[in-house]
Structures are given as structure tokens and as C-alpha cells.
Amino acid sequence: MESSPYSTTSEIFAVGGEDYLKEGHTPTTLPERREEILKLRRSLKPAARGAGAENTFLSGKAGQGKTAAAKAELSELESFAASQDLDLTTVFFSCEGISSSYTLACGLCEELGSENPNGHPMQKVLDRLWAAMNDVGGTIIIVLDEIDNLGTDDKILYSLPRARDKEYVGDDVYPSIIGISNDLQWRDNLDPAAKDSLYDDSIFFAPYDANDLRDILSRRASKAFRGTSLRYENDDGDEIEISIDLNGSEGTLDAAFDDAGVDRDAYDLVGVDSEVLSGDVIPLCAAYAAQDKGSARQAIKYLRKAAAIAESEGQSQVEEEHVRAAQGEAERELIVEGMEQLTMQGHLALAAVTVLELAGHSGIRTRDVYDVYKSLADHIDADQLAQRRMRDHLIELDMLSIIRARKSASGSVGGNAYTFELRVEPSTAIEVLEAVSRFDSVDFDELTQNWLREQGSNQQTFE
């Protein structure tokens, strides 16, 4: 057979191990969130006794385990309810892309097993929702993940938790809401009535520190990578080594502890031994993520990317340099994402800086950018902002790490003069800009040439 760049096996990843580093994997336990989960459990407890759960709000920045904790605890409650034959229904609903109470109510009808009433007037939709809840009956826990997508259209957040008190639903129906959001401002801006009815309890997920992230990564690594095991220690200083057999009974840590015949709660994770990860890899991924936002999602991403880079280089070990490369790559991806989401004016300002860089201009000042900006805006028939307003867009590009703005010493009294430079390759910026349909007719090479020509003739005039 001819040699192929592909292979059915990996020297780095365990068979099926890569899945444990992907977004879709939900852990069954989150020891770093023990406190938060205990609080959530307290809110859910009445539900296990056949009443309603407390309405609860989980908040905290992105990647802090809010979704994972809610899913893990809900599934714990579900299995208890099943074992006790409780009349309990849980709905996990992601509000991504749902920006109105109307669409949310329609979606919930469907989730509760009723027809989607889309197209009917709001009141009818709500009536259908109450009817659907009556049909289901018993305790109904609705988790609304990324609830801030609703924006200011929060009518349903007022009426849903009160459905029982207001007698929209029957006496035997106990609805409650678990709201999850990483937008703390959104909650503060809620209508006071909605705020009151929504939150009996509020649980905040503080950012993970480097130690938390190291533990999270270690557990993932023990499943994802070949020859990787965890070291645990109890209060008496006894150490045990735990390796997870993905092909074994359940492939979970709990199962591995059961197999070892020890109580998991008595042991703390103290380290990881790995044939494929060099010693600095996990601490470095954790440190990078902790320095930034403390996001577990980000930390896991660094580890996944670092391993993929090592593998693509044909290495059998993941080293520190692969983590550095992964971090750089992830940062560039983030910048590109930021560029894609800019407004038209943001794109114009970026395009102008890019043209100047392509032309080899250094020490780019606001008025240089403004000249190119004006002709670009003209070219694509967009509104032309005043120079000062355009500069605000440049400053925003700096905050998004897309360009770097430096205050220059030569500023006029009272005002700041800036020079600007791209933080990415001009080709990366052009790739993003060319995908914006308004820029279809823009030829960046031609623009650059024109600008250079103009500069040349200006210089002649002044000489």
C-alpha cells in the first residue's frame, strides 16, 4: 500500500480519547464546583419530594462549568426520580439564537411534547404552553441556558415561574426555572418584577484558578491520552494510582475508584503521570488559561490543540513548545472571530489600516487612516464618519486586540495622537474582509497600488 499521511491509530491519543477533549463531552463530576453544586442541590431538593424546585440563577464568566454543573446535577436528580417513580420532568433548553419570549414559549411547547404553536398570537402560544405543562403534570424543571439571549423581551421570565400562583396551570403542576448566564449585566438590567419572580436563589461561579484548571485538565488527560494515569493521595499520605480503562466497564473515574476498592471522596488529586505528555504541558495550559479568563473551555482547547500539533508533526510526545504554538493559534483564531463580528464601520477602519500596512507604511496615524477610509467608504457607498468617530473605531479595534494603538509623544496639547499597526498578518485581515459582501468590489492590491502612486505624486509636489 502507498504511504498515506493518514493513520488509523495515534501514538498520542488513546482509542476514542480525543472525544474527551471536545466541547460535547459533559463530565459526570466537577469536584472544583462542589460548593456550587451543593447549593444547586439545595434548590432542587424540594423537587425530589414532589414539590417545586426553587427558581435559581447560575451566573459566572464563560467556561466556568455552569452548563456542565447544571447538566450533571440534573441527571443526578433524574436518575433519583426514575428510581423512585417520581412525577418529574426536566427540560434543558439552550436559548442560543432565541431572542424573544415568543420563540422561547414556542420552543418550550415542543420540548414538552406538544405541537409548536408558531404563527399564533402570543396569548394563544402561552395558553398552549400552560396546556402542555398541564398535560405533563407534576414537577417541571426548565433549565434555560444562555438565558441572556432573550435580551429585554423577558415577559415569559415573569409569567413562567408564577404560572402556578396565577393559576395558569393546575394544582398538581410545579414549574420552576433554572436560568444560566455569563452576562451579569443582563440580570441587573432585568425588569424588577421578572427579577423577583425568577430568582429565589442565585449561585455565582467564580473564575477557576490555575490549580483548578490543572486538576480539570489532568482528569481529561487521563482519558484522552495513552499511558496517562492520575495520582491521588489521602490525608494519611497514602498514594494510589488510578488509570481509566476506556474499554472497561464505564470508563469513568468513579468506576476506576470502585475497581480499586477505595472511597474517592477520601482522596485528593495530586498529579498526573504520562508517557505522552511532558511534565510542563498541563501546568502550562492551565497557566495560560488562568492568566486570561480562567476558562476551563480555553484550557481544554489549548491541550487539545497542543496534542494535535504534536501529532501532525509526527511526534510521540506533547511538549511545552506545542502548547506555546497552540496558544498562539488559539489567540489568532479569537482575533479572526473578533474581526468577523465587526460592524461595517469597524470593517472599514480595519480595511484602511490594512491597505496602509500593505503599502509598507509604518507609524500610521489617524489622518493617514482617515484618507484611505474616506475613499473606501466612498467606493462601497457606506456612510462616512467624521475623523474623530472613525478614530473611536480604531480604538475599539485595539481593545479587541486586532490592531495595536500606541499613544505617540507628538500629540497636540490636550489630545492624544496615536499610531496604529495590525496585530495579524495583512493577509489574514484581507481574508476576513473579502468574505464581507459589501467589500466584494474592493481590490485590496489595486487600492494599495493607487495609494502608493498618490503618495509618490504628492511627494513630488512637495519637493
Rule CB under 5 A: is residue 89 a binding residue for Mg ion? no
Q: How many angstroms separate the CA atoms of 309 and 314, rounded?
A: 9
Rule CB under 5 A: is residue 274 a binding residue for Mg ion? no
Rule CB under 6 A: is residue 448 a binding residue for ligand ATP? no
Q: Quote the least distance from Cβ 107 to Mg ion, whole Å.
A: 17
Q: Is 76 exposed, middle or buried (0-12, 13-18, 19+ CB in 10 A)?
A: middle
Rule CB under 6 A: is residue 283 a binding residue for ligand ATP? no
Residue 32 interacts, among ligand ATP, Mg ion, none and using kind-specific CB cut-offs from 5 to 8 Å, with ligand ATP
Among 48, 62, 262, 380, binds ligand ATP (CB under 6 A): 62
Closest CA to 217 of 80, 363, 21, 436: 21
Residue 64 interacts, among ligand ATP, Mg ion, none and using kind-specific CB cut-offs from 5 to 8 Å, with ligand ATP
User: In residues, how long is the chain?
Assistant: 463
Please choose, out of 66-74, 131-139, 166-174, 353-361, the segment that lies near ligand ATP by the rule CB under 6 A: 66-74
Rule CB under 6 A: is residue 68 a binding residue for ligand ATP? yes
Please choose, out of 19-27, 39-47, 341-349, 378-386, the segment that lies near ligand ATP by the rule CB under 6 A: 19-27
Please choose, out of 29-37, 233-241, 340-348, 450-458, the segment that lies near ligand ATP by the rule CB under 6 A: 29-37
Nearer to ligand ATP, 73 or 368 (CB): 73
Rule CB under 6 A: is residue 179 a binding residue for ligand ATP? no
Rule CB under 6 A: is residue 286 a binding residue for ligand ATP? no
Helix 296-312 and helix 320-340: axis angle, to 10°? 120
Give the x/- contact pattern for Mg ion in 220-259, rule: CB under 5 A.
Answer: ----------------------------------------
Among 33, 187, 304, 347, binds ligand ATP (CB under 6 A): 33
- Which residue of this chain has its Cβ atom nearest to Mg ion in the complex? 67
Q: Which long-range contacts (CB under 8 A, 24 or more apart) does 255-264 make?
A: none
- Give the distance from CA 397 to its chain's centroid: 21
Nearer to ligand ATP, 9 or 341 (CB): 341
321 and 88 in contact (C-beta within 8 Å)?
no
Q: How many angstroms separate the CA atoms of 139 and 175, rounded?
A: 6
Q: How far is CA 62 from CA 38, 91, 142, 211, 295, in A?
A: 21, 22, 21, 18, 6
Cell of 57: 440563577
- All residues at 6 or more sequence positions from 393 whose CB lies less than 8 Å from its CB, including other chains: 345, 346, 348, 349, 385
Nearer to ligand ATP, 218 or 366 (CB): 218
Rule CB under 6 A: is residue 66 a binding residue for ligand ATP? yes
Nearer to Mg ion, 55 or 67 (CB): 67
Residues in region 55-74 near Mg ion by CB under 5 A:
67
Residue 27 interacts, among Mg ion, ligand ATP, none and using kind-specific CB cut-offs from 5 to 8 Å, with ligand ATP
Q: Quote the least distance from Cβ 365 to ligand ATP, whole Å.
A: 38
Using CB under 5 A as the criterion, which residues of the chain lie in contact with Mg ion when the complex forms? 67
Using CB under 6 A as the criterion, which residues of the chain lie in contact with ligand ATP when the complex forms? 23, 26-27, 30, 32-33, 60, 62-68, 182, 216, 296-297, 300
